[in-house]
Homo-oligomer: A and B are copies of this chain.
Amino acid sequence: MTNPTAAILAIGDELLSGRTRDSNLHFLAGELTRTGIALREARVVADDHAEIVAAIRALSAKYTHVFTSGGIGPTHDDITADAVAEAMGAKIGHRADAMALLQAHYDRSGLPFNEARQRMARVPEGAVLIDNPVSTAPGFTLGNVHVMAGVPDIFQAMVASVLPGLSGGPPLLSQSLRVMRGEGEIAAAFGALAAEFPDLSMGSYPFITNGAHGTNLVVRGTDPGRLDEVMIKLTRLFG
């Protein structure tokens, strides 16, 4: 059994100007790993219609799932829904189900359901709404593209709404060994071991602490027995 694959596309000028540090990629990466979906690629593009369309087309053709974050609010720079509709060849308008959700929300809060706020009901035909327990305005799933808000609290709530409905694979497990030796010292033996275990992904991540070189050795895979086997060998070599 193999694992489904995924990409994340984060959308927003603010992520590329250095103003905002993205946290959604890191959060989603952890959640997907637990679900058994292999995150293979991440992209960040600006609030630019053509760029979003091109990225959605490329990623949705290549991976089992695409998750987007950002650009579904009420302002003029929120253009993700229209771009996703174009990329996937769907029509888009103010959808009655999303209008009803938002109308009820603004009725409760006593705020006007004005034209800008109605923009958040623009959802492509055929898309399934994604529940937003934080602030009501929904995300949506169209084909294999899951469109979510960029605000981290809302993004995380939407991920929690979407993931239980997706089929994962066997959980992607990892184990690691921290070694107080430089990468250059352990590379040959570690590389030989990686060649011996082609079914596992083995990586080494150097660090410097108090002026001393160390390396974190990380092994990943889906078979717990194989992980144990390689960890025993690693500990014998470097432990």
Contact = CB atoms under 8 A, between A and B. Distances in A.
A119 B204 CA distance: 15
Interface of A: 12-23, 25-27, 29-33, 39-47, 51, 73-77, 111, 114-117, 119-120, 135, 151, 153, 172, 174, 182-188, 190-191, 194-195, 201-208, 218, 220
A207 B14 CA distance: 14
Contact of A41 (B20, B25, B29, B44): B44
Given A44-B41, A205-B14, A174 B117 contact: no
Contact of A22 (B25, B119, B220): B25
Given A20-B205, A153-B208, A194-B76, A40 B46 contact: yes
B41 A172 contact: no
Contact of A33 (B17, B77, B190, B201): B17
